[in-house]
Amino acid sequence: MARTTSWRVDRVALVDMPMLELTGWAAFSWQELTLLYYRAVYEGEYEKSPPFTIFVTSDKSQDALVWAQGIQMWQYDPGRVIGFTSDFRNDDRWELVDRASAEIFSRRLAVDGSTASELPSEEWIEWFFSWKGDPPDHEDISWNDDYYVRKMKGTPPSRDQ
């Protein structure tokens, strides 16, 4: 039986799992996993005022995805997240939430019930972070070499490019 230890970091309980079994033969260490953190932000005090935005960050980098309420779009803005969360005056305005709660919260951010604020998939967020918020255009030759694009299309990389 594997030994597990729980501890708290940044208000999220993590479990030290030395190895995770995937398919019965493939395994990887927990250090290889990327954890995404979801921070629900309110205009005023947490849960006592209207929702304001949501931040998505990674444990492996300084990357951050932010719902920009004014333009109703997701933006890559690590500086905004670091500035906001490091200011003690904002401590009562945000809370770490799990993925399911973040999805519900993000739906409340859209204007007129649109689906624009839907939380992107974790795979898409990791892909977006891999490009530091600036993925190549579809016309860019590196677009077809990108791992997530190939996976999405279901095609192997081409040696002709």
Domain identity same for 137 and 64 = no
Q: Measured on CA atoms in the order 58, 63, 133, 83, is the torsion positive or negative? A: positive
Same-domain check for residues 27 and 93: yes
Judgement on whether residues 71 and 150 belong to the same structural domain of the protein: no
42 and 115 fall within a common domain: yes
Are residue 125 and residue 139 in the same domain, yes or no? no
Mean pLDDT (whole number) for 85-103: 94
pTM: 0.67
Please write the tens of the pLDDT for every residue from 59-87: 888 999 999 988 888 999 999 999 999 99
Do 12 and 86 fall into the same domain? yes
Same domain, 94 and 55: yes
* Structural domain that includes position 146: 131-161
Q: What is the pLDDT of residues 100-146, one digit of tens each?
A: 999 999 998 888 777 888 999 998 898 889 888 887 776 665 655 66
Higher pLDDT, 4 or 77: 77
Residues 6+ apart with CB under 8 A from 117: 67, 72, 106, 107, 108, 109, 110
Residues 73 and 110 in one domain: yes
Are residue 84 and residue 141 in the same domain, yes or no? no
Average pLDDT, rounded, for the chain: 75
- Residue 154 is predicted with a pLDDT of 66
Domain total in the chain: 2
